[in-house]
Amino acid sequence: MHTYQAAPDVDVVTSTANVAGFGNLAINAFVIHAAEPVLVDTGAVRESDEFMTALASVIDPADLRWIWLTHTDFDHIGSLHRLLEQNEHLRVITSFLGVGIMGLADPLPMDRVYLVNPGQSVDVGDRTLTAVRPPAFDNPITAGLHDDRSGILFSSDCFGALLEDEVPERAEDVSADALRAGQTFWATVDSSWLHAVDRATFASELDRIRALEPTMVLSSHLPAAQGSSLERLLGALADVPDAPAFVGPDQAALEQMLAGITG
């Protein structure tokens, strides 16, 4: 777990998950140093201690005013309740479905939530954050966001990449081939429904992101990418519907792996 600055007013709190046999995946949360500071997602559940330490190196958690929860997967909610308990001024931006799902595990206090749907905005003092439904996602709760001041698109799981080598801090430091292959593969895993989409409809979804003209793309699972890389990112996604479908190791493969380990 470490931090780096992606833009003058945005820090990344990041760790790397090694997915055995498939590569390395960044798990990012972001601090937007807005007039009302915003934390986008809260790290993985099992790394909460490390996350809180890393977060404190870029902002006093008591100064945070908002958590933008892009969705409720275990790699995004790790320190959610801990932060809410420590800071009575924090509110969680999520959706009706997000509140519902959290209610099955650890309910969110209703006076601490702020519900948004795609297209709706939140004023955080010096900028407006608008909820954006990314073109690929693994959870119907998903809402990324566009920051009108910095021009950055926070895309949640969309545009993530499984990378063979160590995860750098800039997407531009990954070779074009490795980035494209890693992004396309990740999307076949994370958004396997893309194989069944109407190609023209999907192309218009990609156009919707293109029209935002983001200055940067900050994905939960990709090193920070400059806006100039957008066409490469969109190109990798465009390949997904016709890419080989992901099929995970089955029981026979698992037993072979275990035999290899014990052997």
Among 73, 143, 194, 224, binds Fe ion (CB under 5 A): 73
Q: For the stretch 14-34, what's the b/e string if a residue is b when 16 or more beta carbons lie within 10 angstroms of its beta carbon?
A: bbeeeeeebbbbbbbbbbbbb
Among 116, 157, 225, 233, binds Fe ion (CB under 5 A): 157
By beta-carbon proximity to Fe ion, the closer residue of 75 and 147 is 75
- For 27, 53, 62, 126, the CA distances from 220, given in Å and listed in that order, are 6, 19, 23, 24
Query: Which range, of 6-14, 65-73, 120-128, 223-231, touches Fe ion by CB under 5 A?
Result: 65-73
- For 188, 201, 214, 232, the CA distances from 197, given in Å and listed in that order, are 12, 7, 25, 21
Q: How far is the CB of 203 from Fe ion (least distance, A)?
A: 23
Contact status: 138 vs Fe ion (CB under 5 A):
yes
**Helix, strand, or coil here: 29?**
strand
- For 137, 192, 229, 248, the CA distances from 188, given in Å and listed in that order, are 11, 5, 21, 11
Contact status: 147 vs Fe ion (CB under 5 A):
no
Which x/- pattern over 78-117 shows residues binding Fe ion (rule: CB under 5 A)? ----------------------------------------
Query: Which range, of 1-9, 11-19, 81-89, 133-141, touches Fe ion by CB under 5 A?
Result: 133-141
Chain residues in the site for Fe ion (CB under 5 A)? 73, 75, 138, 157, 220
